[in-house]
DNA sequence: ATGAAAGCGCTAACAG
DNA sequence: CTGTTAGCGCTTTCAT
């Protein structure tokens, strides 16, 4: 069913049907009625592809993430999608496993589809193909994963990661801990470097030591922390608390602690970051610094939509916007 | 950059460029070289929208699920997407919250985009708008959530849910349990009814009782099981094992058990279904019957692609195919 | 082997 | 207020 057929049925021209459809122009009330009836009768639905081809806008956006299996992303994805849907946009989900080749291939595919914009969580430490998107004129929002140098050049959405690290550590200190270790995420991600910087600063502000052995570094994904935790606790002077730079890391650390027969929080307290849904379900429930993942996704989508609309109106991208979310301490039983 | 410009640069017609691009037709080797050079020079990328409009095929598929936040779906989604990508398809992610209005709206949007096919996990107990998709000519695969009456009428992919319930219960019985309760999922989903049927049959086969009070029914999502578990364990004759019809339910049940001060598995054993990634991380690690979610997603995608290709070649959909996955018992420490 | 031209279905500028 | 028409960028007959 297409415009032409509807027009024929209504006995008018295609432009008239088009006009009543998108109501931009005045149409005689009677004609409008006739056309409406024909539309209803035929159950006509416009062809979005043809519209896009004509309008140069596809009403689709691309959400590019490492993997939806990473516990961070389902909530964020919902935030993006809900806002997108409410604004008449549909979202292509692109899992890249942080593989630059996959990212590039997806970007090409999306460009071919005249994608309206990109929301990207990529490692981004060395990703010119991502950053150049904006200079090529594509609306782009970087979420959580980007470099300091991106700020002001690209729209960004993120938590205050330094503060997160500081608050988590400060809380541990306030509750009486003095030997605080860290399960540190990958060094190439600014967000982890920032969380660690906050941790280090809190330690320094309280005159607490930070022996090198107290820093567990990510190897083999989060599972590596299982063995490192065991080593860590075998130290002569083991920590009495562990700041985990993400909840999934905390789950692995707690798992190792359990297997060592150590009690949480009596023997060692554990705090995470994110407040993923499982955080309240593990035993003991995990104290954590929440990230508002859903809201961050929604903010990213809104930021993208703002760019899309601005570009449509003015032909150029608006000045980059930076959105920072505050985080909350959620106290549960993994700390005392 | 479009065909015309490339053609102009190469000094040939658009049809020639088109021909070298999709290599269906013979082109003089020299001309081909000239054209290729022009393509490389201009960094030409075809417009997929125009192609789709012309070809009546969009190379996009729709994955419609209740919510990506449900722990079942991230893995399944990866399975779908990986296969799709390898076959040149991109996927629209549609979260519906099982809201029929949202489902319908998404379906309309997708049809307008000339979607190539749908993979759907919907409540489907009363969803004519989903089932009619196939009669309207759209390739369709139902995953895990469908009615017995769908089998043979639509492509389906699912686990052997009866067997899952039977195996889980049988394992509990074999390890010495006699009073086995069930955390039963929503009655309107065949998959849960089947798991329960397996549970009931195993009980019957072993002459074990099944008092009504041993059946916890889902209310308020999984959280309702928290309170029900507390009631359940307050019974005069409380169960010594609980079969949870999904891992997330098991997490809630274990949480309640912990809060009651009960030991797992000494006081009560717990078994789940799914083997989601968190199953091995909780304390104690959860014994469960695995579902091969990733493979199920991949199978669904393959099944859909098969339909798309068959339809392209023959103009009609192929006979529906049914894929059933077997499941494995994964023994961990929540049972003894 | 290559080019011209007819659309795929739609929007919008232009005429009337 | 309504109709005609020219594309959006591509594929594919049909000529040559």
Of the candidate ranges A114-128, A218-232, A305-319, B149-163, the one whose mean pLDDT is the lowest: A114-128
Predicted local confidence at residue B125, as pLDDT: 63
Q: Could you count the other beta carbons within 10 Å of the beta carbon of residue B8?
A: 14
- The rounded distance, in Å, linking the Cα atoms of B1 and B57 is 22
* Same domain (yes/no): A216, A265: yes
Contacts A50 to B, Cβ<8 Å: 53
B335 in any annotated domain:
no
Q: Could you count the other beta carbons within 10 Å of the beta carbon of residue A329?
A: 16
Q: How, if at all, do strands A117-120 and A140-143 pair?
A: parallel
Predicted local confidence at residue A125, as pLDDT: 63
Decide: B253 and B225 in contact? Cβ < 8 Å.
Answer: yes
* Same domain (yes/no): A99, A212: no
pLDDT at A240 over 90: yes
CA distances in angstroms from A41 to A3, A18, A32, listed in the order given: 13, 16, 14
> What tens digit of pLDDT does each residue of A156-165 get?
999 999 999 9
Question: Domain residues for A147?
Answer: 56-159+294-325
Interval B51-59 mean pLDDT? 95
Whether CB of B12 is under 7 Å from strand C: the answer is: yes
Report the distance from CA of residue B18 to the C1' of nucleotide C4 in Å, as an integer.
14
CA distances in angstroms from B85 to A31, A114, A292, B67, B113, listed in the order given: 47, 18, 30, 21, 18
CB contact under 8 A, A49 and B49: yes
pLDDT bin (cut points 50, 70, 90) of residue B247 is very high
* Same domain (yes/no): B110, B166: no
The domain that contains A18 carries what CATH number?
1.10.260.40
Predicted local confidence at residue B183, as pLDDT: 98
pLDDT at B25 over 90: no
Whether CB of B13 is under 7 Å from strand C: the answer is: yes
What string of DSSP letters covers B160-217? Answer: -HHHHHHHHHHHHHHTT---EEEEE--TT-HHHHHHHHHHHHHHHHTT----GGGEEE
* Same domain (yes/no): B169, B252: yes
Predicted local confidence at residue B123, as pLDDT: 75
B197 in any annotated domain:
yes
A214 in any annotated domain:
yes
* Same domain (yes/no): A188, A171: yes
Predicted local confidence at residue A126, as pLDDT: 72
At what angle are helices B3-10 and B14-22 packed, to 10 degrees? 100
Interval B74-94 mean pLDDT? 98
pLDDT bin (cut points 50, 70, 90) of residue A29 is confident
* Same domain (yes/no): B200, B128: no
First to last CA, chain A: 66
Decide: A158 and A292 in contact? Cβ < 8 Å.
Answer: no
B332 in any annotated domain:
no
Find the Cα–Cα–Cα–Cα dihedral A134, A140, A146, A149, rounded to 10°: 40
Tokens of A29: 């009330």
* Same domain (yes/no): A285, A197: yes
Buried b (16+ CB within 10 A) or exposed e, B146-174: bbeebbeebbbbbbbbbbbbbbbbbbbbe
A334 in any annotated domain:
no
Cis peptide bond prior to A265, omega within 30° of 0: yes
Whether CB of B105 is under 7 Å from strand D: the answer is: no
A201 in any annotated domain:
yes
A335 in any annotated domain:
no
Alpha helices in chain A (DSSP H): 3-10, 14-22, 29-42, 48-55, 73-86, 100-112, 128-135, 161-174, 190-205, 224-233, 247-259, 293-314
Interval B284-299 mean pLDDT? 97
If you average pLDDT over every residue of chain B, what do you get?
A: 95
Q: Percent of chain A, pLDDT > 70?
A: 99
Give the residue carrying structure tokens 């065949």. Answer: B190
Best of A57, A61, A246, A283 to substitute, by most chain B Cβ atoms within 10 angstroms, is: A283
Contacts A108 to B, Cβ<8 Å: 45
With CA atoms as reference, report the closest residue to A288 among A192, A164, A177, A145. Answer: A164
Report the distance from CA of residue B38 to the C1' of nucleotide D13 in Å, as an integer.
26
The domain that contains A81 carries what CATH number?
3.40.50.2300
* Same domain (yes/no): A154, A302: yes
pLDDT at B24 over 90: no
Alpha helices in chain B (DSSP H): 3-10, 14-22, 29-42, 48-55, 73-86, 100-112, 128-135, 161-174, 190-205, 224-233, 247-259, 293-314
- The rounded distance, in Å, linking the Cα atoms of A188 and A169 is 22
* Same domain (yes/no): A147, A40: no
Tokens of B324: 């059933």
- The rounded distance, in Å, linking the Cα atoms of B310 and B312 is 5
What are the phi and psi torsion angles at A196 (to 5°)? -70, -40
Whether CB of A51 is under 7 Å from strand D: the answer is: no
pLDDT bin (cut points 50, 70, 90) of residue B217 is very high
* Same domain (yes/no): A130, A180: no
pLDDT bin (cut points 50, 70, 90) of residue A100 is very high
* Same domain (yes/no): B271, B166: yes
Predicted local confidence at residue A14, as pLDDT: 92
Tokens of A133: 């998107």
Q: What is the largest CA-CA distance in chain A?
A: 90
Enter the pTM of the model.
0.96
Bridge partner list, A91: A61
- The rounded distance, in Å, linking the Cα atoms of A255 and A69 is 20
Identify the burial level of A284 via C-beta atoms within 10 angstroms of its C-beta, where 0-12 means exposed, 13-18 middle and 19 or more buried: middle
* Same domain (yes/no): A149, A298: yes
Predicted local confidence at residue B23, as pLDDT: 83
Decide: B191 and B158 in contact? Cβ < 8 Å.
Answer: yes
- The rounded distance, in Å, linking the Cα atoms of B273 and B255 is 17
> What tens digit of pLDDT does each residue of B100-120 get?
999 999 999 999 999 999 999
Q: Percent of chain B, pLDDT > 70?
A: 99
> What tens digit of pLDDT does each residue of A110-169 get?
999 999 999 999 876 678 899 899 999 999 999 999 988 989 999 999 999 999 999 999
Whether CB of A42 is under 7 Å from strand C: the answer is: no
Interval A42-66 mean pLDDT? 96
Q: Could you count the other beta carbons within 10 Å of the beta carbon of residue A5?
A: 14
A203 in any annotated domain:
yes
- Total structural domains within chain B: 3
Report the distance from CA of residue A178 to the C1' of nucleotide D3 in Å, as an integer.
82
Gap from B244 CA to chain A (nearest CA, Å)? 15
Predicted local confidence at residue B124, as pLDDT: 61
Contacts A47 to B, Cβ<8 Å: 53, 112, 114
Of the candidate ranges A119-128, A208-217, B44-53, the one whose mean pLDDT is the lowest: A119-128
Query: Coil, helix or strand for A59?
Result: coil
Best of A62, A65, A68 to substitute, by most chain B Cβ atoms within 10 angstroms, is: A68
Interval B58-69 mean pLDDT? 97
Query: Quick one: CA dihedral A109, A115, A118, A121, positive or negative?
Result: negative
Best of A57, A112, A264 to substitute, by most chain B Cβ atoms within 10 angstroms, is: A112
Predicted local confidence at residue A119, as pLDDT: 98
- The rounded distance, in Å, linking the Cα atoms of B38 and B29 is 14
Buried b (16+ CB within 10 A) or exposed e, B243-268: bbbbbbbbbbbbbbbbeeeeebbeeb
Indicate the DSSP class of residue B307: H
Report the distance from CA of residue A43 to the C1' of nucleotide C4 in Å, as an integer.
37
Give the residue carrying structure tokens 């099982």. Answer: B98
| Protein-contacted positions of strand D (CB under 7 Å) | 1-5, 7-13
- When CB atoms are compared, the residue of B69, B77, B285 closest to A78 is B69
If you average pLDDT over every residue of chain A, what do you get?
A: 95
- The rounded distance, in Å, linking the Cα atoms of A65 and A296 is 14
Predicted local confidence at residue A25, as pLDDT: 79
């Amino acid at each position: 069913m297409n415009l032409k057929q509807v027009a024929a049925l209504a006995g008018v021209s295609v432009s008239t049907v088009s006009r009543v459809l998108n109501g931009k122009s005045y149409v005689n009330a009677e004609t409008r009625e006739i056309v409406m009836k024909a539309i209803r009768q035929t159950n006509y639905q416009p062809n979005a592809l043809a519209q896009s081809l004509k309008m140069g806008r596809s009403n689709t956006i691309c959400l590019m993430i490492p993997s939806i299996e990473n516990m961070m992303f389902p909530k964020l994805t919902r935030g993006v999608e809900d806002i997108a849907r409410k604004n008449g946009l549909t979202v292509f989900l692109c899992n890249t496993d942080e593989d630059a080749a996959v990212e590039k291939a997806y970007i090409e595919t999306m460009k071919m589809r005249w994608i309206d914009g990109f929301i990207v969580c990529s490692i981004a430490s060395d990703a010119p193909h991502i950053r150049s998107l904006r200079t090529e004129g594509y609306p782009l929002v970087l979420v959580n994963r980007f470099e300091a140098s991106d700020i002001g050049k690209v729209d960004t959405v993120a938590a205050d990661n330094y503060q997160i690290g500081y608050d988590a550590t400060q809380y541990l200190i306030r509750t009486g801990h003095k030997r605080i270790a860290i399960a540190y995420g990958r060094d190439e991600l600014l967000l982890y470097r920032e969380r660690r910087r906050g941790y280090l600063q809190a330690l320094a502000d309280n005159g607490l030591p930070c022996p090198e052995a107290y820093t567990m570094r990510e190897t083999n994904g989060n599972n590596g922390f299982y063995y490192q935790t065991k080593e860590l606790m075998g130290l002569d002077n083991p920590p009495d608390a562990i700041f985990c730079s993400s909840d999934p890391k905390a789950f692995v650390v707690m798992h190792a602690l359990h297997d060592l027969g150590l009690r949480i929080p009596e023997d060692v307290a554990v705090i995470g970051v994110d407040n993923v849904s499982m955080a309240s379900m593990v035993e003991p429930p995990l104290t954590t610094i929440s990230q508002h993942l859903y809201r961050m996704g929604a903010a990213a989508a809104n930021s993208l939509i703002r760019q899309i609309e601005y570009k449509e109106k003015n032909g150029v991208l608006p000045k980059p916007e930076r959105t920072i979310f505050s985080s909350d301490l959620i106290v549960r039983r993994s700390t005392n």
